[in-house]
Amino acid sequence: MDQAETVRTPSSWVVVGLDNGGTCNNATVLDATGQFLVDNLVENPSRVLDGPESAVEALAGAFANILELTSTPLSLVRAVGLDTPGPASAHGVISSKGATNFNQVSWHGFDIRGALEARLGLPVVYNNDGNAAALYAHHQHFGAAAAANSSVSAIVGTGLGGGVVEAGTVIRGAAGMAGELGHVQIPLHGVLEDDQPVPRCNCGFAGDVESVASLTGIRNNLLPYWLTRFPDHPLAKEPIATAAKALRGYGEKDDALALAVFGQQAKAIGKLFTIAANFTDPAAYFLGGGVVEAAPHFRQWFLNSVREATDLRDEQKAVATFALVPDRDMAGARGAAVAALNTVTPL
């Protein structure tokens, strides 16, 4: 980690970004000039399984720890950005039915943003984790021109998150549910094999993007089918959940079964991006999540496959960019910090 300056001018100030996950919190510090004071993951246990009170205290601990690591006085912090997995409202209230990492009854309807704000005594700005990563990708790619551009991001993980950024700002929607790209239903022609069952999502939809392009989609839908086509594959001997997690490693080795599965995922995301092209006509399409953390040749193959599966007009092809979300596991915390920075009015 680069060491932060120990002496700052009296006019300097910072914001803190906190990325809350199922096992760890990741934290970062962003100064008023737009420079991050850490260049690697700084993680602490998130304790979300211990309930809201313990989890908020863990976030406060991550906040204190990152200030200590960067030699940043508390007095210089103007705001805190927080992201968590959804579903949650635009103001950081966890869904009344709970969420992926917040399935205990005590989490249902819990205002995690408000609780952290009360605990820290500082303004807290909330985004879901997909939106935070999308915002970081946008600002990192466009830099000073961020406010003049638009983008769409697909973040492939256990589910499929994402975000729509217009003029440098995340589109939230009336209920805070905009950018839930995983649950956009897509045409499956050209994605599935003729005898392949229509995939179903845990949300109840059939044929949405997440039912194909996610770890859950691999486990529930794609891999069971492809193992019938490759019955002698080593993964056929493993429990399906174990096999699904191991599949990316096979993809990095150009395994035929794995490439068939990930090829279908790329086609599904291409269908999603085609819808985006006709709905928002973004300047950039970003791809993030687990595939970005794969071997370079594999992630480039996947990105190229998504690009080839995205049906753009010639005019759009001339101006659109396809890119990977940068900085991988740090994107959430950095995006949360960018969102906080954008709310601060310089003194």
Query: Which strands sit side by side in the sheet containing 124-128, from one edge to the other?
Result: 43-45, 24-31, 14-20, 77-84, 124-128
pLDDT at 346: 67
pLDDT at 104: 87
Q: Do domains 14-122 and 145-325 have the same CATH topology?
A: yes
Query: Locate tokens 């794969």: which residue?
Result: 294
**CA-to-CA distance for 314 and 175, rounded, in angstroms?**
35
Token pair belonging to 116? 């952290």
- The answer to whether 216 and 195 are in contact (CB under 8 A) is no
Give, for 81, the enclosing helix (H) or strand (E): strand 77-84
Instruction: Name beta bridge partners: 321.
Output: 284
Are 250 and 241 contacting, i.e. CB atoms less than 8 angstroms apart?
Answer: no
User: What does the block give as tokens for 106?
Assistant: 């005590």
| Long-range contacts formed by 101-104: CB under 8 A, 24+ apart | 101/20, 101/21, 101/22, 101/48, 102/48, 104/49, 104/51
- The pLDDT score that the predictor gives to residue 175 is 77
pLDDT at 118: 98
Going by C-alpha positions, the residue among 2, 56, 51, 53 that lies closest to residue 29 is: 2
Q: Specify whether the CB–CB gap between 12 and 32 falls below 8 A.
A: yes
pLDDT at res. 157: 87
Give residue 347's pLDDT: 59
* Apex 176 CA angle, 343 and 60, nearest 5: 55
Low-confidence spans in the chain with pLDDT less than 70: 1-11, 100, 346-347
For the stretch 186-223, what's the b/e string if a residue is b when 16 or more beta carbons lie within 10 angstroms of its beta carbon?
bebeebbeeebeebebeeebebbbbbbbbbbbbbbbbb
Q: What is the pLDDT of residues 221-265, one digit of tens each?
A: 999 999 999 999 999 999 999 999 999 999 999 999 999 999 999
Rounded to whole angstroms, the Cα distance separating 9 from 110 reads 39
Position 9 scores a pLDDT of 43
The hierarchical CATH code for the domain 14-122 is: 3.30.420.40
Residue-level pLDDT at 280? 94
Q: Does the pTM exceed 0.75?
A: yes
Q: Is the peptide bond before 87 cis (omega within 30 degrees of 0)?
A: yes
Domain residue ranges of the chain, discontinuous segments joined by +: 14-122, 145-325
Decide if domain 145-325 falls under CATH 3.30.70.660: no
CA distance 271 to 138: 21
